[in-house]
Amino acid sequence: MSPKITTELLKQLRQVMKSPKYVQEPIQAYIVPSGDAHQSEYIAPCDCRRAFISGFDGSAGTAIVTEQHAAMWTDGRYFLQAAHQMDNNWILMKMGLKDTPTQEDWLVSVLPEGSKVGVDPFIIPADQWKRMSKALRSAGHDLVPVNENLIDTIWTDCPQRPCKPLITLDLSYTGVSWRDKIVALRSKMAERKVLWFVVTALDEVAWLFNLRGSDVEYNPVFFAYAVIGMNTIRLFIDGDRMMDPAVREHLQLDCTVEPEFKIQVMPYGSILSELQAVGAGLSPKERVWLSDKASYALTEAIPKAYRYLTPYTPICIAKAVKNASETEGMRRAHIKDAVALCELFNWLEKEVPKGTVTEIIAADKAEEFRSQQKDFVELSFATISSTGPNGAIIHYKPVPETNRTLSVNEIYLLDSGAQYKDGTTDVTRTMHFGTPSAYEKECFTYVLKGHIAVSAAIFPNGTKGHLLDSFARSALWDCGLDYLHGTGHGVGSFLNVHEGPCGISYKTFADEPLEAGMIVSDEPGYYEDGSFGIRIENVVLVIPAETKYNFKNRGSLTFEPLTLVPIQTKMIDVNLLTQKECDWVNDYHQKCREVIGAELERQGRHEALRWLIQETEPLSRVQ
Amino acid sequence: MSPKITTELLKQLRQVMKSPKYVQEPIQAYIVPSGDAHQSEYIAPCDCRRAFISGFDGSAGTAIVTEQHAAMWTDGRYFLQAAHQMDNNWILMKMGLKDTPTQEDWLVSVLPEGSKVGVDPFIIPADQWKRMSKALRSAGHDLVPVNENLIDTIWTDCPQRPCKPLITLDLSYTGVSWRDKIVALRSKMAERKVLWFVVTALDEVAWLFNLRGSDVEYNPVFFAYAVIGMNTIRLFIDGDRMMDPAVREHLQLDCTVEPEFKIQVMPYGSILSELQAVGAGLSPKERVWLSDKASYALTEAIPKAYRYLTPYTPICIAKAVKNASETEGMRRAHIKDAVALCELFNWLEKEVPKGTVTEIIAADKAEEFRSQQKDFVELSFATISSTGPNGAIIHYKPVPETNRTLSVNEIYLLDSGAQYKDGTTDVTRTMHFGTPSAYEKECFTYVLKGHIAVSAAIFPNGTKGHLLDSFARSALWDCGLDYLHGTGHGVGSFLNVHEGPCGISYKTFADEPLEAGMIVSDEPGYYEDGSFGIRIENVVLVIPAETKYNFKNRGSLTFEPLTLVPIQTKMIDVNLLTQKECDWVNDYHQKCREVIGAELERQGRHEALRWLIQETEPLSRVQ
């Protein structure tokens, strides 16, 4: 992978940073955040402005270009990838390391006195604007909105914003109708005494209306906003997709409905002016609810006194707790996904020794097997198919320049998942197709111990996920090892593979307490730069736990793995496991054998079934 | 314990809340925070305003009195105590429970439109003012400073502010001279480009000048402020204690010294006007550093643009990392403290069966044995001597009305500590002087497993203490149990028994990363209201850990127990321990035997030595 040469682009950007055509006064720095106008993690090609200007296309990163410097902040998952993709014009700011300055501190250290720092107000979330603006102001600088996106002005071949057809989801998938979701939302609005709710996140719009799209790769969402009043529903969406009779029927656009369920469809681009009109028409005490991560531009449309901002919206919280239909769908999706992976791993065991399977071929094969399953829609993220040293690049995606051939001498890490109409999957398995070294087995076993410690943890109702993070690290810490990423993220139901408001991370963020029905990933790892990467990831469902006692009647929770794919026992040093851990592995494999075995049988996939049986042989500890 | 009858007092307070003599406009609510003008946790009798108005005298709690209501917020340690001490005029707000409103939310729910909420600006920390003020303003109310403390206006027999003699500490105790501390502080100030530093916390003043006092019970501090400039030192302190020749020599008040080490002594009460003068004389870019927990009044003395506020001051952070002299002092103090406790427990084993030992007698006896030790100064907090159901009152202090007789049928919990001139101790042991039930042993053993999990934890350099909290709870959580307090707090070196900036808690607070030399407590517990309380507490020193590997060269840390008092093996259900946990107990007891045994021998305390030997017999697990 050779880095993108950005000298000319940076020169052009620095020119428009001074051009009166775009800025009232010259700006001395320009911030290029990662997201789009909806603060999405995965974005459409037209929104990949940070990748365009820097070459770094990981899912998280913020670029800042000043007159002299260009710097990129990203986290531990992307240190190696960013270093590979960026040329010498760029300084890599490794977030999470002790000596890495924050964006604010760095700006203050490099800017000349009284500088102006520009940013697209549609892209920067209001909470980030506030923090950045305050820090800059206290050092004598100003954060200013630049309404025309400066990257777009120099991006001559910028692709069009996508506008693909919609999918309607019926009750058998969603469990709750969109009308009932609106009723529940309005009741939350009444509780907080707000009159309007602005839906800005794409997955929240999709969830609320039981619609899905394909405007953004991997995430079944579509570009739209919604503004929900106590008696009105406005949906801001472009294109002729609203002419689709199925969509019109689903949304009851052509029927006579009670006025409070009548959906007004408006152009996507009219959200700002409509919201400004809402803002202008408010009487005292009439409040408008927005996420504090909504864009600065939309937030500013509502006068400050009328804003009600929360870190998580009621939709985000309701969406995280899956109902019975969604949970059953997720189970079905994970069974199908496991069938595809059993086929893949069986195939790899045969093919890898021949020396003809590359990372790209393996990834394509995984997609092929998944696409054979019912209700398959697309992948849920770019497959991480990595062998040997590539495994240490945490969010690696094989490209021809880096494509490595799988062999019996290297560890292979596959982190992959799919969108099925009934659910979203995300699973990582680390395999060796020859004989792993004692050290590789040792590291794998520590990671497994961490995975089990989270998966089997019992904790009180109301516990926040971040309190479980150290369980995943304890075995690694004991021998001086660690990994530089969080342990788990929320997973959507045929929606984004990463979703809030819960997670498992050492970073203290405002996570909501875990509750039964939430779904998160459990994915500790260990990475040695230049050598190998290990990660073991299951998607797990939060369920009530039976405990001997029940302190203060609070009740307890634990996790049930939805992912049912064998964990390669060849990689386990059984003598490093406790009996309890050993039992966990055996119970897990027994369940894989029963549930996935039955489905492989049903689908007539006998060879993969034989592989599954062999891979789920019970472990036993030397006494 | 009967509650304080507060009907008349609340009536008087509500009158002064409307009196033009004290408030410009009537206020509809008055906040009575816990602290003093230095935001101390332990306060002098003259500052016990919240206890005066409510009866509740625990170390943490905030009272709010409105025209109709009186409400008290406190945490899990004090739920029972507050319920006992307050009459029916008071609503108890149990912090940490899901349905308990915040002070702000509660005020908004009960106040009439456009209310004014008053508070003493010298007592409320600036960060709390800001949060409260913002929340009230957004709901249409105002937070207003009431310069004369309204509790003081109705407190006719309020005691005088204490002004006791000072103790000077030489280098053998402190390791660093006050001049060198000033030099280090000024270098931190230069790094952050601030010209002035305002020392507001009492323990920070004491630490900086290597002085101690006894103005506040249990905490060897004295009422003072300091303002450190790059070339000036101002110490604000009252009384003739500055006439003491030892103090004058220690501070070099009468010698010719370099001007930058010349201490100007000023009246305690002049801090506000002096600080206002500093504030008025600032040029642009001249900043003044204050803790964001400094009082609103002092913070406001510096114009906003010139303030540099941080959650922890450089003194707080330097003070937390003990140097070799301080660590050795802490070790000596803990050895002496263990000798006293061996004497006590040996005495209790003999006396409890006679039925003549009450909680108060046991606490007094503990103090008696401690006071026999060299350099004993005073207790470091009110001894928690509690048996049976009293043990479930987490910060219980025996008083005649509640005083219970120790017996062979109940669990006895003793949480106690002392101030020695060379260090501060804080230790909890839970004992049974008869035969504990299987259930009591089970609970004790879970608590012990949690204690060991923290004490033996290995974790990377830079880890924050809150990431270790779940280790302490895991064994309890597994069977549905928990405790409603944090797991550990920083401990001062002949200073406050609770100090920042580190700690071990499920509450996410801005704790600083743990580093070698820091000293914290490790004190998980389990409490059954109405039955018993269990807690096992050691003070532990953060030390470097040897690990097999060393990821990213970060290095690892672990803890070394400074407390060396046997953990009652009779209370342990050995079969619930892993072999590793069993080894930990045996190693710990071996060390107690060696170190404390030698000192008991040296002091000729042969009976206590025999008790120690018997209590430190190795455990063995049934295989």
Give ipTM to 2 decimals.
0.91
pLDDT band at B76 (very low <50, low <70, confident <90, very high): confident
Q: Is the CB of residue B594 less than 8 Å away from at least one CB of chain A?
A: no
Please report the number of interchain residue pairs, chain A to chain B, with beta-carbon separation below 8 angstroms.
Answer: 76
CA distance to partner chain A, nearest, from residue B129 (Å): 19
pLDDT of residue B509: 67
Please say if the pLDDT value at position B407 is more than 60.
yes
- Contact assignment for B480 to A468 by CB distance below 8 Å: no
Q: How high does pLDDT run on average in chain A?
A: 96
Cα–Cα distance for residue pair B254/A359, rounded to 1 Å: 79
Mean pLDDT on B477-486: 96
Mean pLDDT on B130-136: 94
Mutation target vs B (from A287, A309, A470, A557; most B CBs, 10 A cutoff): A470
Please say if the pLDDT value at position A509 is more than 80.
no
Least confident of B34-43, B333-342, B549-558: B34-43
Please say if the pLDDT value at position A7 is more than 70.
yes
Query: How many CB atoms neighbour CB B250 within 10 A?
Result: 19
Residues B369 and B288 in one domain: no
Please say if the pLDDT value at position B240 is more than 90.
no
pLDDT band at A240 (very low <50, low <70, confident <90, very high): confident
Contacts of B458 in chain A (CB under 8 A): 477-478, 480
Cα–Cα distance for residue pair B374/B336, rounded to 1 Å: 8
pLDDT band at A80 (very low <50, low <70, confident <90, very high): confident
pLDDT of residue B373: 98
Sequence letter at residue A149: N
Q: Is the CB of residue A562 less than 8 Å away from at least one CB of chain B?
A: no
Closest Cα to residue A66, out of A24, A20, A118?
A118
- Contact assignment for A467 to B469 by CB distance below 8 Å: yes
Residue that finishes a domain, picked among A267, A288, A319: A319
Cα–Cα distance for residue pair A146/A481, rounded to 1 Å: 45
CB-nearest partner of B556 from A480, A508, A549: A480
Task: Yes or no: say if A22 and A149 are a contact pair by the CB < 8 Å rule.
Answer: no
Q: In what order do the strands lie in the sheet with B459-460?
A: B459-460, B556-561, B538-545, B519-522, B488-490, B499-504
CB-nearest partner of A477 from B460, B462, B578: B460
Which residues sit opposite B535 in a β-bridge?
B525
Residue B429, in any domain of the structure: yes
Q: Is the CB of residue B20 less than 8 Å away from at least one CB of chain A?
A: no
Contacts of B447 in chain A (CB under 8 A): none
The predicted-structure confidence for B270-305, as pLDDT tens digits, reads as follows: 999 999 999 999 988 889 999 999 999 999 999 998
Q: Is the CB of residue B469 less than 8 Å away from at least one CB of chain A?
A: yes
Give the global pTM.
0.92
Residue B160, in any domain of the structure: no
Residues A457 and A567 in one domain: yes
Sequence letter at residue B318: A
Q: Which residue of A has its CA nearest to B527?
A: A551
Residues A230 and A329 in one domain: no
Mean pLDDT on B373-387: 97
Run of H or E including A508: none
pLDDT of residue A542: 98
Residue that finishes a domain, picked among A319, A337, A365: A319
Residue A350, classed as helix, strand or coil, is helix
Closest Cα to residue B150, out of B9, B346, B324, B333?
B9
pLDDT band at A96 (very low <50, low <70, confident <90, very high): confident
Give residue A44's domain range: 6-154
Q: Which residue of B has its CA nearest to A98?
A: B462
For residue B212, the 8-state DSSP code is: E
3-state secondary structure B246-260: HHHHHCCCCCCCCHH
Residues B389 and B433 in one domain: yes
pLDDT band at A97 (very low <50, low <70, confident <90, very high): confident
Task: Yes or no: say if A57 and A51 are a contact pair by the CB < 8 Å rule.
Answer: yes
Residue B621, in any domain of the structure: no
Q: State the CATH number of the domain containing residue A84.
A: 3.40.350.10
The residue that leads in pLDDT, B329 or B77, is B329
For residue A565, the 8-state DSSP code is: -
Contacts of A476 in chain B (CB under 8 A): 551
Mutation target vs A (from B138, B478, B528, B546; most A CBs, 10 A cutoff): B478
- Contact assignment for B462 to A98 by CB distance below 8 Å: yes
Residues A453 and A575 in one domain: yes
Residue B620, in any domain of the structure: no
Q: Give CA separation, A504 vs A280, A580, B467, B481, B513, in Å.
A: 41, 23, 12, 22, 19
Task: Yes or no: say if B390 and B359 are a contact pair by the CB < 8 Å rule.
Answer: yes
Residues A297 and A365 in one domain: no
pLDDT of residue B284: 82
Residues A185 and A130 in one domain: no
Residue B102 phi/psi, 5° resolution?
Answer: -70, 165
Q: Is the CB of residue B470 less than 8 Å away from at least one CB of chain A?
A: yes
Least confident of A137-151, B84-98, B172-186, B506-520: B506-520
User: A 502-521 residues with CB below 8 A of B?
Assistant: 506, 508
Residue B397, in any domain of the structure: yes
Mean pLDDT on A313-331: 97
Contacts of A469 in chain B (CB under 8 A): 467
Q: Is the CB of residue A438 less than 8 Å away from at least one CB of chain B?
A: no
Structure tokens at B548: 């097999």
Contacts of A460 in chain B (CB under 8 A): 477, 480, 482
Q: Is the CB of residue A480 less than 8 Å away from at least one CB of chain B?
A: yes
Task: Yes or no: say if A351 and A361 are a contact pair by the CB < 8 Å rule.
Answer: no
| Percent helix / strand / coil, chain B, rounded to 5 | 40, 20, 40
Q: Which residue of B has its CA nearest to A513?
A: B98
pLDDT of residue B623: 56
Residue A620, in any domain of the structure: no
Please say if the pLDDT value at position A239 is more than 90.
no
The predicted-structure confidence for A385-420, as pLDDT tens digits, reads as follows: 999 999 999 888 999 989 999 999 999 999 999 999
Q: Is the CB of residue B479 less than 8 Å away from at least one CB of chain A?
A: yes
pLDDT of residue A492: 98
Cα–Cα distance for residue pair B467/B446, rounded to 1 Å: 19
Structure tokens at A307: 């804003």
Q: State the CATH number of the domain containing residue A361.
A: 3.90.230.10
pLDDT of residue B621: 81
Task: Yes or no: say if B481 and B443 are a contact pair by the CB < 8 Å rule.
Answer: yes
Closest Cα to residue A418, out of A291, A304, A333, A536?
A333
CA distance to partner chain A, nearest, from residue B302 (Å): 15
| Percent helix / strand / coil, chain A, rounded to 5 | 40, 20, 40
Least confident of A90-99, A470-479, B614-623: B614-623
Which residues sit opposite A125 in a β-bridge?
A295
Mean pLDDT on B139-158: 95
Please say if the pLDDT value at position A176 is more than 70.
yes
Contacts of B578 in chain A (CB under 8 A): 578
Cα–Cα distance for residue pair B311/A64, rounded to 1 Å: 28
Run of H or E including A116: strand A116-119
Residue B529, in any domain of the structure: yes
Q: Give CA separation, A114 vs A26, A110, B436, in Å.
A: 12, 12, 71
Task: Yes or no: say if B560 and B543 are a contact pair by the CB < 8 Å rule.
Answer: yes
Contacts of B476 in chain A (CB under 8 A): 551
Cα–Cα distance for residue pair A65/A52, rounded to 1 Å: 13
Domains held by chain A: number? 3
Residue that finishes a domain, picked among A96, A127, A154: A154
pLDDT of residue A224: 98
Q: Which residue of B has its CA nearest to A284?
A: B140
Contacts of A575 in chain B (CB under 8 A): none
**What string of DSSP letters covers B229-291?**
ESS-EEEEE-SGGGG-HHHHHHTTTTS---GGGPEEEE-GGGHHHHHHHHHHTPPTT--EEEE
pLDDT cut 90: percent of chain B above it: 92
β-strands B556-561, A459-460 pairing: unpaired
For residue A226, the 8-state DSSP code is: E
pLDDT of residue A1: 61
Task: Yes or no: say if B121 and B296 are a contact pair by the CB < 8 Å rule.
Answer: yes
Residues B289 and B389 in one domain: no
The residue that leads in pLDDT, A127 or A182, is A182
Residues A313 and A326 in one domain: no
pLDDT of residue A77: 81
CB-nearest partner of A508 from B479, B508, B554: B508
Q: Which residue of A has its CA nearest to B454?
A: A474
Mean pLDDT on B559-574: 98
- Contact assignment for A477 to B467 by CB distance below 8 Å: no
Please say if the pLDDT value at position A8 is more than 60.
yes
pLDDT of residue B464: 95
CA angle in degrees (0–180, nearest 5) for B383-B386-B389: 150
Residues B291 and B382 in one domain: no
Residue A160, in any domain of the structure: no
Residues B178 and B111 in one domain: no
Residues A359 and A301 in one domain: no
**What string of DSSP letters covers A50-88?**
HHHHHS--SSS-EEEEESS-EEEEE-GGGHHHHHHHB-T
Closest Cα to residue A10, out of A73, A84, A122, A91?
A91
The residue that leads in pLDDT, B531 or B621, is B531
Please say if the pLDDT value at position B510 is more than 80.
no
Please say if the pLDDT value at position B469 is more than 70.
yes
